[in-house]
Amino acid sequence: MGDDLNAEGAGWNRWIAVASAVVLAAAAGYAFAWQEVIGAAVLALLAAAAGAFAARPPRKLPEPAAEGSASIDDVHPSITLDSLENAAVLVDRNFGILAMNAEAVDAFGAHALGEDIRIAIRHPAVIETVTTAMRQNRDSIREIEGIGRHSTVFRLRAGPAGDARLLLSFADVSPARLAERMRADFVANASHELRTPLATLVGFIETLQGPAANDPAARARFLDVMANEAARMTRLVDDLMSLSRIELDKNIRPREIIDLAPVFENVATTSAVALEADKRQLVMNLDPELPQVIADKDQVLQVLHNLMTNAIKYGRTGTPITVTAERAKALQGEVVRIAIADVGDGIAAEHIPRLTERFYRVDTGRSRRLGGTGLGLAIAKHIVERHRGTLEITSEQGVGTAISFTLPASVSQI
Ligand code: ADP
């Protein structure tokens, strides 16, 4: 994604926590009206998102500049368009463009200077906003999508600027709108992921209460399916809670100095059963001189667990999984690079940049069948970012996938 929601971190965290609360509430009351519980919560969350982007209070024009840009000081000494943060355009009573700042030239092109604004920016909403401000001699504000050379979402404010002139300020609100859409998508995705197993559970409960009430064989079969669906919901809630906790701590750098050897032993032990069931062999390629790292041990274990689970899920039965750990130099200094590589179908190049987005999967059906939540790589990326490391995915279709990440080496070791 343009998963660059760093500035929105606290907001995300609140959302994830609320979404998780919705799951728990829904799970507790699934036998009655769970759809309503989720529906109401989703509406409340969307309403909260809308509120977060309420209009800013009116901005004051800058104080008169001692030495302003020549073109505009000639027109109105109190305004220096270049000192304005947003794209700004000054028009006269006949809608002619008198001056533009650099941002406006970038958005609408230098040719617009001297043109009629209604021709330079041919958009009905712009024309209406400017005309209203001109006619009523007061501020007129409107959000307009898809104008300018970069098809930006602008919040246009047209207001009187003395001598029958109008100052038009175009604030770029595209990032806020994108963040808003991503939040709405996240809630919709989380709700959908929960709705599916809940629907199955509700269906089986009704069947067990009715047609299958006296059928012990069917009951045993249905209870198995129900247990699987409940486990799936638990995994999803666990992952949502993990994301929430990681978001909470994301600005606090880990301080512990840890040895990686016991971490790798732990990974080998916890994945032994799944590896054996799939006739897989774990190959450990660890540098014996590996320095200690500055890291949160539980979180490193979680990244390794998520990557191992994926290598087992998406790699080919009977093929080895290789874990490599070596020291390396990165921009931020000495690091330890850890990679987990599998032999499998691999991933088409166009999917790779999006794999760390929440709920992004190459094949949703396959991921669900294999017990995936679509959050494993998003969690891994957030943890690695908290450690100021980098996560890299390389894959070749028909060959396999390697996912590596770095952790800062403890300086005293080097
Ligand atoms: P999931 O729970 O679906 O596995 P993840 O966030 O862990 O979610 O991974 C996102 C998607 O990335 C997966 O659905 C899968 O399509 C792809 N993927 C992840 N790891 C691998 C891998 N080792 N080999 C092939 N595809 C992978």
* Other Cβ atoms closer than 10 A to 314: 21
Q: What is the mean pLDDT of residues 87-114?
A: 93
Q: Helices H, strands E: what count in the chain? A: 12, 12
CA 12 – ligand 1 centroid, Å = 22
**Amino acid identity, residue 244?**
S
By alpha-carbon position, which residue is closest to atom 16 of ligand 1? 362
Whether 400 lines ligand 1, by a CB cut-off of 6 Å, is no
State which ligand 1 atom lies nearest to the alpha carbon of 364: 14
Which pLDDT band holds residue 85 (cuts at 50, 70, 90)? Answer: confident
> CB under 8 Å to 1, separation ≥6 — which residues?
182, 354, 357
Res. 21: pLDDT tops 90? no
Domains of the chain: which residue ranges? 2-55, 72-172, 177-248, 257-413
346 falls in which pLDDT band (50, 70, 90)? very high
Q: Whose CA is nearest to atom 13 of ligand 1?
A: 361
Q: For residue 340, which of 279, 393, 398, 413 has the smallest C-alpha distance? A: 393
Q: Which atom of ligand 1 is nearest to the CA of 311?
A: 23
Would you say 247 and 233 are in contact if contact means Cβ atoms under 8 Å apart?
no
CATH superfamily of 72-172: PAS domain (3.30.450.20)
Query: CA quadruple 232, 237, 238, 243: dihedral positive or negative?
Result: positive
Residue 24's pLDDT is 46
Task: Write out the DSSP string of 154-197.
Answer: EEEEEEE-STT-EEEEEEE-HHHHHHHHHHHHHHHHHHHHHHHH
Q: Report which DSSP code applies to 61.
A: P
Alpha carbon of 341 to ligand 1 centroid (Å): 13
- Give the right CATH number for 257-413 from 3.30.565.10, 2.40.50.180, 1.10.3720.10, 3.30.230.10: 3.30.565.10
pLDDT digit string, tens, across residues 231-262: 999 999 999 999 999 988 989 999 999 999 99
The first and second tokens of residue 214, run together, are: 């006296």
Q: Which residue has the tokens 């047609």?
A: 211
Confidence check: pLDDT of 295 > 70: yes
Record the pTM: 0.69
Residue 251 Cα distances to 56, 386, 406, angstroms: 27, 7, 18
Q: What is the DSSP letter of 102?
A: H
Q: Which CATH class is domain 177-248?
A: mainly alpha
* Mean pLDDT score of the chain: 83
Q: Ligand 1, residue 368: give the atom nearest the CA.
A: 3
CA-nearest of 369, 5, 383, 28 to 186 is: 5
Q: 366 C-alpha vs ligand 1 centroid, how far in Å?
A: 10
Q: Given a cut of 80, is residue 93 above it in pLDDT?
A: yes
Q: For residue 73, is pLDDT > 90? A: no
Query: Cβ-count burial of 181 within 10 angstroms (0-12 exposed, 13-18 middle, 19+ buried)?
Result: exposed
Contacts of range 20-23, beta carbons closer than 8 Å, 24 or more positions apart: 20/237, 20/240, 20/241, 20/244, 22/190, 22/191, 22/194, 23/190, 23/194, 23/233, 23/236, 23/237, 23/240
- Hunting for tokens 């939040």 — which residue is that? 183
Residue written as token pair 């080998």: 268
- Name the percent of the chain lying above pLDDT 90: 67
Q: CA nearest 49: which of 4, 7, 20, 8? A: 8
Q: Does ligand 1 have an atom closer than 6 angstroms to the CB of 375? A: yes
State how far Cα 104 lies from the chain centre. 30
Spell 126-160 as b/e; 16+ CB within 10 A means b: bbebbeebbeeeeebbbebeebbeeebbbbbbbbe
What is the C-alpha separation between 104 and 283, in angstroms, rounded?
58
| Beta carbons within 8 Å of 200's beta carbon, 6+ residues apart | 225, 226, 229
Q: 365 C-alpha to center of ligand 1: Å?
A: 12
Q: What pLDDT score does 53 carry?
A: 32
List the one residue out of 260, 257, 251 whose CA is nearest residue 288. Answer: 260
Domains 72-172 and 257-413 share a fold: no
Question: Between these two residues, 6 and 397, which has the higher pLDDT value?
Answer: 397
User: Which of 355, 370, 375 gets mutated to test ligand 1 (max ligand atoms within 8 A of its CB)?
Assistant: 355
CB–CB of 116/96 below 8 Å? yes
Q: Which residues of 261-299 are buried (b: 16+ CB within 10 A; e: fewer)?
A: eebbeebeeebeeebeeeebebeeeeeeebbbbbbbbeb
Instruction: Look up residue 151 and give its DSSP letter.
Output: T
The Cα 105–Cα 101 span in angstroms is 6
